[in-house]
Amino acid sequence: MLTLRTVPRQNALTIAISVGCALTSANSFAQTPYDLAARQSLAAEINQDYGNLVTPSLSISELFDIKNRLDKADAIAQEYGVDLDYRKHSYVELCDFESRIRLAAALNQQYSANIDWREYTYPELVQTEQQLKSQAPTKH
């Protein structure tokens, strides 16, 4: 009895999955000309700005990820003189590094400290900032 009920459910599920796959495929084929143009444009922009690094054969998401990481690593190098390899770090890691570099530089300047951003997480740097503030002489 149970088998008779599960077969129609399995068939319905199979049909639903097949229809979903067909719709997804049809949608992706409709995007192909636009996707190709976008990939070519983005690859050309990356190669123009950073040298011959990518080809349009990469997916649009891979190209955007590479561009974001390159832009972030370049901004960090320009602003703070810290060279980071975009290939070794995710965009999120690069953003974290930038925040830590910025805070460590501010603390070093404001409190004449010698804090290396590589040795601390961001929360640890915030805690260090609080400690330095509490130890700093108050001006009256």
User: Could you tell me which residue, 100 or 12, shows the higher pLDDT?
Assistant: 100
pLDDT at 11: 59
Residues 115-129: tens digit of each pLDDT: 999 999 999 999 999
Q: Is the pLDDT of residue 89 over 80?
A: yes
DSSP state of 47: H
CA distance 129 to 40: 46
What residue spans define the domains of the chain? Answer: 1-58, 59-140
Q: What is the pLDDT of residue 1?
A: 46
Angle between helices 91-111 and 122-135 (to 10 degrees): 10
Closest CA to 102 of 89, 90, 117, 114: 117
Which of 5-9, 97-101, 104-108, 129-133 bottoms out in mean pLDDT, i.e. has the lowest? Answer: 5-9
Q: For helices 2-50 and 60-80, give the axis angle rounded to 10 degrees.
A: 40
Q: What is the pTM of this model?
A: 0.73
Cα dihedral 8, 11, 17, 23, rounded to 10, equals -100
Distance CA(5)–CA(15), nearest Å, equals 16
Query: Which residues neighbour 84 within 8 Å (Cβ) at sequence distance 6 or greater?
Result: 73, 76, 77, 94, 97
For 27-83, the pLDDT digits (tens) are 455 457 789 999 999 999 999 999 999 999 999 999 999 999 999 999 999 999 999
